[in-house]
């Protein structure tokens, strides 16, 4: 369900005709009084759909929309201007303590390194406990050699049904790997929902925090991020990893995920985390059915209007297997590459993947087709 938030939010659905003064298609969602005020302010020549679930859709030239939004909530008019300006435009580069990720000019590839015994994709191949961390470091070296820009290190499985891991055990798994990779000059992301793990990993050299829970599983994590200069991946998750696939439900998955990320940006800003440090992830496969994942990918460009890099992590996920005849994780390469290429066409600037070399080749071509101005001569 869409939250009945007192602060309304605005989503740009389509602005392809904006630069030629054509109609803009937007949605506004918020508490019932806000929607009522908006409907009262809407000019008669602004097309609107019937409001449902605290959501109203408006289609009109930007000037007419701005007039109606300003009469309802000046914030919404400001958001319209900023989000139209960011629509399908490249975000700025992402600055990390370990170096710059060139999200303004090309897709950035994040290689997945699971140091867990129960990874859905490899069954724990990089984590034989009696040899740790040598196999994990070798796997990370192969990812970097294949072209990974970032290594995303995780010590707790977030596959559907996964149970939490104690912070001490998670730290035992990830810290030796983070420390060695950072010392070697790699840009390392720590994939965790725990403040204690994030803090120790940052001290060991991690340059990003990738949190699948948006701070919901450990509220102290947001305070930890705020106290650093580390970029933060804000992801949408319905439920928890252990419950997320039991019965995910949405009235409008794209609107609700957009609303949740908008609210998450507000929470981060209130804690002192500047928008320039935030990456947005719609959470493909995290509390989503097949149709939810496909809808989010289909309308991925709507998330570019926040002006932040958009990350997609769909590699080898079960919805790909479902659509390709029940293929297991090791047989989902073609589907994973198709999703990565489509995501880049729709504005994604970070891809979290298992098969780095093939993905780098695929998204390089996809980016060249979608953004010919970025193709080197």
Distance from chain centroid for Cα 295: 15
CATH of the domain at 268: 3.20.20.20
Rg of the chain (C-alpha set):
21
Contact partners, residue 332, CB within 8 Å, separation at least 6: 315, 316, 317, 320, 321, 324
Catalytic residue among 13, 159, 346, 352: 352
Q: Domain containing 67: what range?
A: 9-86
Which of 262, 281, 270, 260 is CA-nearest to residue 3?
A: 260
Burial class from Cβ neighbours inside 10 Å (0-12, 13-18, 19+) for residue 47 reads: exposed
| Rounded Cα gap, residues 308 and 204, in angstroms | 27
If asked whether residues 303 and 347 sit together in one domain, one would say: yes
According to the model, what pLDDT value does residue 121 have?
55
Flag whether 263 is in a domain: yes
If asked whether residues 245 and 346 sit together in one domain, one would say: yes
DSSP conformation letters of 89-100: PPPPPEEETTEE
Residue pLDDT, tens place only, 298-327: 999 999 999 999 999 999 999 999 999 988
Q: Which of 86, 103, 122 is the last residue of a domain?
A: 86
Whose structure tokens read 């293929």?
327
Flag whether 34 is in a domain: yes
66 included as an active-site residue: no
Strands 94-96 and 99-101: antiparallel
Q: Which of 30, 56, 86 is the last residue of a domain?
A: 86
- Token duo for residue 45: 């020549």
Bridge partner list, 211: 234
Asked if 35 and 51 touch (Cβ cutoff 8 Å), the reply is yes
If asked whether residues 267 and 152 sit together in one domain, one would say: yes
Flag whether 3 is in a domain: no
Strands 188-191 and 208-211: parallel
| Rounded Cα gap, residues 225 and 108, in angstroms | 22
Q: Is the pLDDT of residue 1 over 50?
A: no
The C-alpha angle with vertex 318 and arms to 186 and 174, in degrees rounded to 5, equals 30
Flag whether 1 is in a domain: no
According to the model, what pLDDT value does residue 53 have?
54
If asked whether residues 150 and 23 sit together in one domain, one would say: no
If asked whether residues 225 and 259 sit together in one domain, one would say: yes
Flag whether 213 is in a domain: yes
Identify the band that residue 2 occupies on the pLDDT scale cut at 50, 70 and 90.
very low
How much is the mean pLDDT over the chain?
Answer: 90
Flag whether 4 is in a domain: no
If asked whether residues 46 and 165 sit together in one domain, one would say: no
25-43: average pLDDT: 85
According to the model, what pLDDT value does residue 20 have?
64
Q: Which of 57, 86, 115 is the last residue of a domain?
A: 86
Q: Is the dihedral of CA 27, 28, 33, 38 positive or negative?
A: negative
CATH of the domain at 56: 3.30.70
The C-alpha angle with vertex 233 and arms to 232 and 239, in degrees rounded to 5, equals 125
If asked whether residues 347 and 289 sit together in one domain, one would say: yes
According to the model, what pLDDT value does residue 124 have?
61
If asked whether residues 205 and 286 sit together in one domain, one would say: yes
Flag whether 134 is in a domain: yes
5-18: average pLDDT: 81
Distance from chain centroid for Cα 205: 22
| Rounded Cα gap, residues 14 and 12, in angstroms | 6
User: Mean pLDDT highest for which of 4-8, 11-15, 131-135?
Assistant: 11-15
352 included as an active-site residue: yes
If asked whether residues 154 and 37 sit together in one domain, one would say: no
Which of 20, 34, 21 is CA-nearest to residue 64?
A: 21
If asked whether residues 102 and 45 sit together in one domain, one would say: no
Helices 167-183 & 195-204 angle (0-180, nearest 10): 20
Catalytic residue among 308, 317, 332, 349: 317
Contact partners, residue 42, CB within 8 Å, separation at least 6: 48, 58, 68
Residue pLDDT, tens place only, 198-229: 999 999 999 999 999 999 999 899 999 999 98
Q: Is the pLDDT of residue 4 over 50?
A: no
Q: Is the pLDDT of residue 332 over 80?
A: yes
If asked whether residues 224 and 369 sit together in one domain, one would say: yes
Report the percent of the chain where pLDDT is more than 90.
Answer: 66
If asked whether residues 213 and 301 sit together in one domain, one would say: yes
Torsion of CA 296, 234, 150, 88, to 10 degrees: 50
Flag whether 285 is in a domain: yes
According to the model, what pLDDT value does residue 218 have?
94
Task: Please state the domain count of the chain.
Answer: 2
According to the model, what pLDDT value does residue 130 have?
76
């Amino acid at each position: 369900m869409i939250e009945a938030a007192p602060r309304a939010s605005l989503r740009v659905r389509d602005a392809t005709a904006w630069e030629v003064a054509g109609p803009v298609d937007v949605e506004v969602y918020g508490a019932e009084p806000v929607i009522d005020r908006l409907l009262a302010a809407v000019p008669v020549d602004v097309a609107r759909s019937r409001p449902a679930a605290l959501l109203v859709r408006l289609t009109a030239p930007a000037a007419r929309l701005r007039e109606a939004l300003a009469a309802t909530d000046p914030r919404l008019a400001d958001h319209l201007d900023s989000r139209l300006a960011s629509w399908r435009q490249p975000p700025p580069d992402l600055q990390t303590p370990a170096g710059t990720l060139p999200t303004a000019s090309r897709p950035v590839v994040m290689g997945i390194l699971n140091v867990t015994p129960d990874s859905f994709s490899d069954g724990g191949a990089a984590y034989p406990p009696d040899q740790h961390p040598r196999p994990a470091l070798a796997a990370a070296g192969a990812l970097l050699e294949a072209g990974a820009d970032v290594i995303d290190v995780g010590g707790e499985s977030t596959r559907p049904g996964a149970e939490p891991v104690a912070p001490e055990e998670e730290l035992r798994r990830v810290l030796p790997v983070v420390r060695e990779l950072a010392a070697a000059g790699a840009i390392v992301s720590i994939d965790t929902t725990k403040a204690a793990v994030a803090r120790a990993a940052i001290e060991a050299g991690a340059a990003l925090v990738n949190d699948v829970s948006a701070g919901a599983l450990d509220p102290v994590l947001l305070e930890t991020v705020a106290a650093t200069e580390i970029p933060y991946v804000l992801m949408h998750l319905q439920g928890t990893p252990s419950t997320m696939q039991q019965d995910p439900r949405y009235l409008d998955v794209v609107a609700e995920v957009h609303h949740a990320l908008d609210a998450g940006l507000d929470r981060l800003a209130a804690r002192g985390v500047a928008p320039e440090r935030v990456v947005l992830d719609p959470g493909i496969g995290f509390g989503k059915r097949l149709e939810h994942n496909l809808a989010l990918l289909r309308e991925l460009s709507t998330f570019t209007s926040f002006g932040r890099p958009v990350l997609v992590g769909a590699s080898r996920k079960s919805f790909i297997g479902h659509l390709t005849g029940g293929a297991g994780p090791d047989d989902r390469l073609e589907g994973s590459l198709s999703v990565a290429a489509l995501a880049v066409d729709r504005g994604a600037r970070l891809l979290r993947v298992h098969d780095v070399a093939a993905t780098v080749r695929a998204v390089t071509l996809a980016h060249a087709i979608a953004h010919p101005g970025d193709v080197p001569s």
